[in-house]
């Protein structure tokens, strides 16, 4: 089995062309980053607002926990059954899956952002106001930079969630590396399934490491020292 | 220059933090708000830069009602130092200190120059300016906090328990530094502390606040020690206030000339305690010439006793006399011997000048 | 019948789900206790152990289910694949928490225990471990909830549990079984979560003293 899997992985024919590993990887990345951006566009502002004002705190605290209990596969099927009959056009098959990807990515980003803002040293916040910063200046100059490590952690775990869910979303017709897993099973081609799995795992590891690098670059060295000491 | 007019702060739950406070903080010098926790001293301080809004009454800064100025804009012109410094961990020391100048809209170059100047004023180096707060000690962080408050050239600086989180030795250094900065820059400092010793050491004027947020007494340290307004103040100022008051009296004591010898010089047996000085006339210590005579051996010189500068407070003079093995306190000027005083002389001078009451029946003046 | 699912089937699938999510929880705890303890104990083991185990978590579950037969030599439909995969995820989540838990034991308590003559192993078991319980069970609750959710994905490779209701409903275009399956998953997760929270309370009577923490 191992031999066949590697044979499949090493066969150039499986890499190139439409539906090849490269094309599917790119599709997978495209969906994933699109979903991450959309989720961040919703979750980061809300998280900042909750953290800055302290309002709706219970929502941010409980949301991640509650969402973790919901099985993504079930939600995916529900979304497709509900939405597919109502959608038309070329995105009709992809939209329900993408919506689920975005929904599932919101809680980790939201709670990470909220927790990051909350973790700002109250003395630093007090000093910032006392020096004459407006609320927006406190948020932008003190709370956001301080929250960055946890915002980035939230984005990273959201991204893992997205890549995993995008993989299983192949069952409802989404492109990406999940195709090899689902199509391989349909055609009882284990080498294709296993090869696709290895590719997906490698992609997830790679993306996570890239985001880790971004995190390193984005976070002030002053905060690194603080966490190390 | 800062005037509280009938200022009251009552919170929504009914607790009164500050009760009808009227107070005038004089220009220049250090005014200390002191009192037990929950007495409203921090609330009072934070009302000056509108971090807290009064429920009633008003506060005037240079005759102008502060509630008429936008809070953020007002705060940029008032320095603010807090207990844990509240430095921004993601910014270097330099960037931290540049905060207020940048908020004031100064260009980067001017803000940078002002920040570097402030950093040097508080005794930090250029090298430390490039570091992040987490790389500094607690005392250094607090210095950065002070520099950050000074960088925008404020005339008023508010300090909320600025030194209570650092160890006692560092605290002493920082207190001296703040005193020096106040004098050099001629700024007005309003400081909150719960530590009466700190208040007495630093304050030119002290406002003692009591439970329920009312002002118990507003006076100079010497007045506070000599004439506490009520039992609460007397109690808060503490048991040692008789001794502490000595710090604020500088009696005119006639210093007596003291003969000195050098190490190796001959002394006659039975001379008693003799003061040893070096070639420059700097006092070195005392030697007990009792059952022996001849050249003074270096190892017999005892570096006992504190030394008082000429014109020092009664407390310092008495301490020099009481800690000296000969009972004669050494008085110096720039390290050079002026003479010695005894405890009796100091007390007599204090009686003469009215610092100490003379009980009936006691000899009017000891020699 | 509920939502087109026979009660008997629902019960059977729930038990299967509990087995596939619960057993790995225990196995994972057994593995992460020593790993986390090692990580908490030595500074330079901490990064590789914690980073290494959390790396497992980046692998999407469906991919892991499919890859394991390659490594284990099992058949693709084997329960063992799911059990091992879920154990790995549990270890990935728990090792860091166990390390944090042991790290949260106050140094003075540890030193007092050593000073009284506890041996290393005995101290870890009878002093450090009980004190680390609140942190460890908090991690265990997260792992339990996420295990229940992830196990349902194994339906895609034909391993039966509540997730089968999803594929079944989807194939028949029937919403009923899917909704029942989702609800059953959530109820199972919440129950496990509450059970572990309760267990944690029982194990830490000293945290219950009237005044609270």
The span from the CA of C187 to the CA of C18, in Å, is 11
Q: Domain B260-353, what fold?
A: CBS-domain (3.10.580)
Give the residue among B345, B346, B339 at the shortest CA–CA distance from B367. Answer: B345
Which residues 186-205 of A are in CB contact (within 8 Å) with C? 190, 193-194, 196-198, 200-201, 204-205
From the number of C-beta atoms within 10 Å of its C-beta (0-12, 13-18, 19+), residue A91 rates as exposed
> Can chain A be said to touch chain C, i.e. do they have 3 or more Cβ pairs within 8 angstroms?
yes
> Can chain A be said to touch chain B, i.e. do they have 3 or more Cβ pairs within 8 angstroms?
yes
Q: What percent of chain A shows pLDDT beyond 90?
A: 68
- In the predicted model, what is the mean pLDDT of residues A16-21? 89
Over the Cα atoms of chain A, what is R_g?
A: 21
**A127–B75 CB contact, under 8 Å:** no
Q: What percent of chain B shows pLDDT beyond 70?
A: 97
Phi and psi torsions of B287, nearest 5°: -130, 135
Compare CB distances from A131 to B89, B92, B103 and report the shortest one's residue: B103
Where in chain B is CATH 3.10.580.10?
A: 260-353
Distance from CA of C176 to the nearest CA of A (A): 10
* E strand or H helix at B173: helix B168-185
Give the residue among C95, C96, C82 at the shortest CA–CA distance from C159. Answer: C82
Which residues 319-348 of B are in CB contact (within 8 Å) with A? none
Angle at C114 between CA C108 and CA C115, to 5 degrees: 85
The alpha carbon dihedral of C163, C166, C169, C172 has a sign of negative
**Residue B304 confidence class, pLDDT cut points 50, 70, 90:** low
User: Which of B75, B89, B91 best probes binding to A when mutated, by most A CB atoms within 10 angstroms?
Assistant: B89
Which residue segments constitute the domains of chain A, with CATH numbers given?
23-220 (1.10.3720.10)
Please name every residue paired with C206 in a beta bridge, in sequence order, or none if there are none: none
Buried (b) or exposed (e) across B316-342, using 16+ Cβ within 10 A? bbbbbbeebebebbbbbeeeebbbbbb
Residue of A nearest to B52 (CA): A130
The span from the CA of C23 to the CA of C68, in Å, is 18
Q: In what order do the strands lie in the sheet with B16-25?
A: B16-25, B2-10, B56-61, B64-65
The span from the CA of B246 to the CA of C131, in Å, is 54
Domain ranges of chain C: 7-203
Q: Domain B2-248, what fold?
A: Rossmann fold (3.40.50)
- H helices within B55-159, ranges in order? 71-76, 93-97, 99-103, 108-121, 126-129, 138-150
C partners (3+ CB pairs within 8 A) are: A
Q: Quickly count: other Cβ atoms within 10 Å of residue A29's Cβ.
A: 17
Residue of A nearest to C186 (CA): A69
* E strand or H helix at C44: helix C43-57
Q: What percent of chain B shows pLDDT beyond 90?
A: 50
User: Which of B51, B90, B142 best probes binding to A when mutated, by most A CB atoms within 10 angstroms?
Assistant: B90
Whether C138 and chain A come into contact, CB under 8 Å, resolves to no
The span from the CA of B49 to the CA of B66, in Å, is 8
8 A C-beta contact, residue B347 and residue B358: no
Give the residue among B63, B61, B41 at the shortest CA–CA distance from B52. Answer: B41
Whether A159 and chain C come into contact, CB under 8 Å, resolves to no
B partners (3+ CB pairs within 8 A) are: A
pLDDT 10s digits, B202-241 = 999 999 999 888 899 999 998 988 888 999 998 888 767 7
8 A C-beta contact, residue C137 and residue C210: no
**B82–A129 CB contact, under 8 Å:** no
Give A-chain residues touching C148 at CB under 8 angstroms.
Answer: 69, 71
Who's near A77: CB < 8 A, 6+ residues apart? A172, C166, C167, C169, C170, C178
What B162-165 contacts at long range (C-beta under 8 Å, 24+ apart), as own/partner pairs, is B162/B81, B162/B82, B162/B83, B162/B191, B163/B193, B163/B198, B164/B83, B164/B193, B164/B194, B164/B195, B165/B83, B165/B84, B165/B138
Q: Give the per-residue pLDDT at B184.
A: 93
Give me the CATH code for the C7-203 domain, please: 1.10.3720.10
- Assembly ipTM: 0.89
User: Please, what is the average pLDDT of chain B?
Assistant: 89
- The single-letter DSSP state of residue B298 is G
> Can chain B be said to touch chain C, i.e. do they have 3 or more Cβ pairs within 8 angstroms?
no
pLDDT 10s digits, B122-179 = 999 999 999 999 999 989 999 999 999 999 999 999 999 998 888 888 888 899 999 9
The span from the CA of A191 to the CA of A194, in Å, is 5
**B80–A127 CB contact, under 8 Å:** yes
End-to-end Cα, chain A, rounded Å: 49
Taking CB atoms and an 8 Å cut-off, how many pairs form between chains A and B? 92
8 A C-beta contact, residue A39 and residue A158: yes
The span from the CA of C5 to the CA of C158, in Å, is 18
**A190–C76 CB contact, under 8 Å:** yes
The span from the CA of C145 to the CA of A42, in Å, is 25
**Residue B250 confidence class, pLDDT cut points 50, 70, 90:** confident
Whether C63 and chain A come into contact, CB under 8 Å, resolves to yes
Query: Could you tell me the two tokens for B169?
Result: 């030795």
Tokens 């992460």 label which residue?
C32
Who's near B131: CB < 8 A, 6+ residues apart? B92, B93
Q: Give the per-residue pLDDT at C209.
A: 63
Residue C5 falls in which region: left (phi positive, over 0), alpha (psi -120 to 50) or beta: beta
Residue of A nearest to B51 (CA): A130
Give A-chain residues touching C166 at CB under 8 angstroms.
Answer: 71, 73-74, 77
Distance from CA of B180 to the nearest CA of A (A): 23
Which residues does chain C have with pLDDT short of 50? 211-213
Give the residue among B186, B84, B188 at the shortest CA–CA distance from B142. Answer: B84
The span from the CA of B61 to the CA of B190, in Å, is 13
Q: Give the per-residue pLDDT at C210.
A: 56
User: Please, what is the average pLDDT of chain A?
Assistant: 90
Residue of A nearest to B145 (CA): A127
User: Which of C43, C52, C62 best probes binding to A when mutated, by most A CB atoms within 10 angstroms?
Assistant: C62
From the number of C-beta atoms within 10 Å of its C-beta (0-12, 13-18, 19+), residue A189 rates as middle
Cα–Cα distances in Å, from A3 out to A6, A36, B65, C64? 5, 36, 84, 18
- The single-letter DSSP state of residue A140 is I
8 A C-beta contact, residue B162 and residue B83: yes
Q: Give the per-residue pLDDT at B363.
A: 55
Residue of C nearest to A202 (CA): C59
Distance from CA of C36 to the nearest CA of A (A): 19
Q: Give the per-residue pLDDT at C166.
A: 96
The span from the CA of C51 to the CA of C56, in Å, is 9
Cα–Cα distances in Å, from B48 out to A132, B2, B4, B77, C160? 13, 8, 9, 11, 69
Greatest Cα-to-Cα distance within chain A, rounded to the nearest angstrom: 68
Cα–Cα distances in Å, from A58 out to A47, A106, B256, C105? 12, 16, 77, 29
Q: Give the per-residue pLDDT at C121.
A: 85
- In the predicted model, what is the mean pLDDT of residues B53-68? 95
Phi and psi torsions of B81, nearest 5°: -125, 130
8 A C-beta contact, residue C41 and residue C99: no
Give A-chain residues touching B91 at CB under 8 angstroms.
Answer: 145, 220, 222
Kindly tell me if the per-residue pLDDT of B365 is higher than 50: no
8 A C-beta contact, residue A178 and residue A200: yes
8 A C-beta contact, residue A158 and residue A146: no
Kindly tell me if the per-residue pLDDT of B182 is higher than 90: yes
Compare CB distances from B92 to A148, A222, A223 and report the shortest one's residue: A222
Compare CB distances from A145 to B83, B90, B149 and report the shortest one's residue: B90
Tokens 């029937």 label which residue?
C174
Whether A145 and chain B come into contact, CB under 8 Å, resolves to yes
Query: Could you tell me the two tokens for C96?
Result: 């860091």
- The single-letter DSSP state of residue B15 is -
pLDDT 10s digits, A169-215 = 999 989 999 999 999 999 999 999 999 999 999 999 999 999 999 99
The span from the CA of C170 to the CA of A97, in Å, is 14
Distance from CA of A60 to the nearest CA of B (A): 25
The span from the CA of A215 to the CA of A150, in Å, is 10
Whether B130 and chain A come into contact, CB under 8 Å, resolves to no
**C166–A73 CB contact, under 8 Å:** yes
Give C-chain residues touching A204 at CB under 8 angstroms.
Answer: 58-60, 63
8 A C-beta contact, residue C13 and residue C164: yes
Kindly tell me if the per-residue pLDDT of B38 is higher than 70: yes
pLDDT 10s digits, B330-350 = 998 887 888 999 999 988 888
Give A-chain residues touching B89 at CB under 8 angstroms.
Answer: 121, 124, 146, 220, 222-223, 226
From the number of C-beta atoms within 10 Å of its C-beta (0-12, 13-18, 19+), residue A164 rates as buried
**C62–A167 CB contact, under 8 Å:** yes
Give C-chain residues touching A172 at CB under 8 angstroms.
Answer: 170
């Amino acid at each position: 089995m191992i031999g066949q899997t590697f044979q499949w992985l090493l066969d150039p024919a499986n890499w190139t062309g439409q539906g090849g590993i490269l094309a599917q990887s790119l599709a997978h990345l495209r969906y994933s980053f699109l979903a991450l951006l959309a989720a961040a566009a919703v979750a980061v502002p809300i998280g900042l607002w909750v953290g800055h004002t302290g309002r709706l705190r219970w929502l941010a605290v409980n949301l991640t926990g509650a969402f973790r209990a919901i099985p993504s596969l079930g939600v995916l099927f529900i979304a497709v059954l509900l939405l597919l009959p109502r959608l038309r056009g070329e995105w009709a098959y992809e939209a329900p899956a993408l919506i689920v990807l975005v929904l599932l990515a919101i809680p980790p980003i939201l709670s990470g952002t909220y927790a990051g803002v909350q973790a700002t040293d109250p003395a630093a916040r007090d000093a910032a106001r006392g020096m004459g910063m407006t609320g927006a200046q406190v948020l932008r100059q003190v709370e956001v930079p301080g929250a960055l490590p946890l915002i980035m952690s939230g984005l990273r775990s959201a991204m893992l969630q997205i890549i995993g869910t995008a993989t299983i979303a192949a069952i409802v017709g989404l492109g990406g590396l999940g195709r090899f897993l689902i199509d391989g099973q349909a055609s009882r081609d284990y080498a294709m399934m296993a090869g696709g799995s290895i590719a997906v795992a490698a992609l997830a590891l790679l993306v996570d490491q890239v985001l880790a690098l971004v995190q390193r670059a984005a976070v002030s060295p002053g905060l690194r020292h603080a966490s190390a000491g | 220059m800062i005037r509280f007019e009938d200022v009251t702060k009552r919170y929504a739950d009914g607790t009164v933090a500050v009760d009808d406070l009227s107070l005038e903080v004089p220009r220049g010098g250090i005014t200390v708000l002191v009192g037990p926790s929950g007495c409203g001293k921090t609330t009072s301080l934070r009302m000056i830069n509108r971090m807290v809004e009064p429920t009633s009454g008003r506060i005037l800064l240079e005759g102008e009602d502060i509630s008429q100025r936008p809070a953020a804009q007002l705060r940029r012109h008032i320095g603010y130092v807090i207990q844990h410094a509240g430095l921004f961990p993601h910014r270097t020391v330099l960037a931290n200190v540049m905060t207020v100048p940048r908020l004031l809209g100064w260009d980067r170059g001017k803000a940078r120059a002002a920040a570097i100047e402030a950093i040097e004023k508080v005794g930090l180096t250029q090298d430390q300016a490039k570091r992040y707060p987490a790389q500094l000690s607690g005392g250094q962080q607090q210095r950065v906090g002070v520099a950050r408050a000074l960088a925008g050239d404020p005339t008023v600086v508010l300090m909320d328990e600025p030194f209570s989180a650092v160890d006692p030795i560092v605290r002493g250094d920082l207190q001296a530094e703040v005193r020096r900065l106040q004098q050099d820059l001629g700024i007005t400092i309003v400081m909150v502390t719960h530590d009466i010793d700190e208040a007495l050491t630093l304050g030119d004027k002290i406002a003692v606040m009591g439970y329920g947020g009312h002002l118990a007494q507003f006076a100079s340290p010497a007045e506070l020690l000599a004439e506490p307004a009520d039992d609460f103040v007397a109690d808060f100022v503490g048991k040692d206030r008789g001794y502490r008051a000595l710090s604020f009296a500088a009696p005119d004591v006639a210093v007596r000339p003291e003969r000195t010898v050098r190490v190796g010089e001959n002394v006659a047996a039975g001379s008693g305690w003799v003061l040893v000085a070096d070639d420059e006339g700097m006092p070195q210590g005392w030697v007990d010439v009792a059952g022996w005579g001849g050249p003074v051996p270096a190892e017999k010189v005892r570096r006992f006793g504190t030394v008082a500068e000429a014109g020092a407070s009664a407390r310092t003079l008495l301490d020099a006399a009481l800690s000296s093995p000969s009972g004669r306190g050494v008085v110096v000027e720039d390290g050079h011997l002026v003479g010695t005083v005894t405890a009796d002389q100091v007390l007599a001078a204090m009686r003469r000048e009215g610092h100490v009451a003379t009980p009936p029946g006691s000899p009017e003046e000891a020699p | 019948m509920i939502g087109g699912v026979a009660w008997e089937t629902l019960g059977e699938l729930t038990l299967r789900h509990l087995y596939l999510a619960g057993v790995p929880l225990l196995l994972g705890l057994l593995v992460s206790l020593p790993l986390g303890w090692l990580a908490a104990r030595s500074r330079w083991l901490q990064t590789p152990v914690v980073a290494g185990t959390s790396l497992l978590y980046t692998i999407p579950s469906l991919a892991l289910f499919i890859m394991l037969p390659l490594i284990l030599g099992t058949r693709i439909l084997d329960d063992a694949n799911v059990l091992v995969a879920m154990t790995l995820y549990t270890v990935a989540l728990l090792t860091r928490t166990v390390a944090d838990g042991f790290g949260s034991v106050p140094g003075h308590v540890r030193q007092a225990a050593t000073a009284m003559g506890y041996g290393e192993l005995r101290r870890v078991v009878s002093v450090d471990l009980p004190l680390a319980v609140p942190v460890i069970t908090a991690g265990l609750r997260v792992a339990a909830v996420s295990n229940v959710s992830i196990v349902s994905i194994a339906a895609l490779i034909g391993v039966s549990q509540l997730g089968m209701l999803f594929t079944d409903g989807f194939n028949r275009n029937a919403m009923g079984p899917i909704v029942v399956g989702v609800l059953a998953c959530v109820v199972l997760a919440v129950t496990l979560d509450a059970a572990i929270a309760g267990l944690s309370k029982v194990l830490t009577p000293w945290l219950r003293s009237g005044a609270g923490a």
